Amino acid sequence: MAGVKILAIESSCDETAAAVVEDGRRVLSNVISSQIDIHTLYGGVVPEIASRKHTERICNVVAEALNKAQLKLEEVDAVAVTYGPGLVGALLVGVSYAKGLAYAAGKPLIGVHHIEGHICANLIDHPELKPPFLSLVVSGGHTTLVRVADYNRMEVLGITRDDAAGEAFDKVARAIGLGYPGGPKIDKISNEGDPAAIDFPRAKVGDSPYDFSFSGLKSAVLNYLNQCKMSGQEINVADVAASFQKAAVDSLCERVDMGLEELGDKVFALAGGVAANRHLRAGIEEVCKKHEVSFYCPEPILCTDNAAMIGAAAYYEYIAGVRHGLDLNAVPSLKLGERI
């Protein structure tokens, strides 16, 4: 099936986004309206504000995506939308809007899993990338090692038992006074720090070696900062950032190393907001090189939340015959592989 144009909408967290994607790989438009400026005032995403801002912006964002793609709503083949996981009020804005558009234009509606979207960001501009492959999704809400057996067959190998990797970046950044969102700020300032300055722990989850845990690492950083304050020792912010980042990246790389060793996959795709981190990209690339595995990672703008990735994932649902009814609802804790 060629020339399939999908209008996709994403509103699961603090980005109001719409895109038009052709055949899952070619981005005709990709509009992202970020709310970061507003949430920065509160040190993190405020769900109620996120929903209100999505409501204010979604009409313009969708109109701009169609305009940039030089298409009218009648000319797209389907409307796709993220329906979970995410903040329920935020998801509902996108889901309701997409249902309205699909109904008004008589187009099929396709609900997409947000994590599946992050993984499929790798398909954009990489026509040679095809399942099966191993993928690590690292974002503000998720840390998941996934075996992508086929476009719509994804098996979860490991998840975080507590904080997501991006959440740990954001919380540590706040503790060392860098502000929100912390990931990019830690990434930047760590260039001036020594990653070996402080030996922070790399947690292991005994009974499931593919699972992750970042709350112990976060607490270790907070304890270190408290101890410094109590003993009057000056805190070197760049060293703390670099040492924390090294510990987080090591934990992620270790699971990928183990997965590639055990499963023997020859293709690997990194995904999610934290995949924009240069040290993580370099670390995983190194692991892939060791196993002679092809390494893929989306460009930074496709790593953080966007709708082009939802359009990419939706194409493979579309050609597999997946259609949702107008009773589609937001599912805040939607599991990967689960269809509602």
Q: Least distance in Å: CB of 45 to ligand KG4?
A: 9
Give the count of beta carbons closer than 10 Å to the beta carbon of residue 124: 23
Q: Give me the count of residues in the chain.
A: 340
Binding mask 162-181 for ligand KG4 (x = CB under 6 A): ----x--xx----------x
Tell me which of 131, 193, 272, 298 binds ligand KG4, using CB under 6 A. Answer: 272
Tokens 């293709």: give the residue: 267
Which of positions 118-147 make contact with Zn ion (CB under 5 A)?
Answer: 139
Q: Are 77 and 6 in contact (CB under 8 A)?
A: yes
84 binds, among Zn ion, ligand KG4, none (CB under 5 to 8 A by kind): none
Which of 7, 62, 274, 307 is the binder for ligand KG4 (CB under 6 A)?
A: 274
Q: Binding partner of residue 131 among Zn ion, ligand KG4, none, CB under 5 to 8 Å per kind? A: none
Residue 32: CB minimum distance to ligand KG4, A? 10
Q: Please give the Cα distance from 239 to 271 (Å, whole number).
A: 26
For 8, the enclosing helix (H) or strand (E) is strand 5-10
Q: How many CB atoms lie within 10 A of CB 5?
A: 18
Count of chain residues binding Zn ion (CB under 5 A)? 2
Q: Kindly identify the residues of this chain, within the stretch 70-99, that bind ligand KG4 according to CB under 6 A.
A: none
- For the segment 135-154, give every residue that binds ligand KG4 (CB under 6 A): 139-141
Single-letter residue type at 159:
I
179 to each of 39, 43, 142, 236, how far by Cα in Å? 11, 7, 20, 16
Stretch that binds Zn ion, among 27-35, 175-183, 200-208, 298-306 (CB under 5 A): 298-306
> From the list 89, 94, 158, 182, which residue makes contact with ligand KG4 (rule: CB under 6 A)?
182
User: What per-residue string of b and e applies to 193-229 under the rule 16 or more CB within 10 Å gives b?
Assistant: bebeebebebbebeeeebbbbbebbbebbeebbeeee
Interface ranges with ligand KG4 (CB under 6 A): 13, 139-141, 166, 169-170, 181-184, 187, 272-274, 276-277, 304-305
Binding site for Zn ion (CB under 5 A): 139, 305
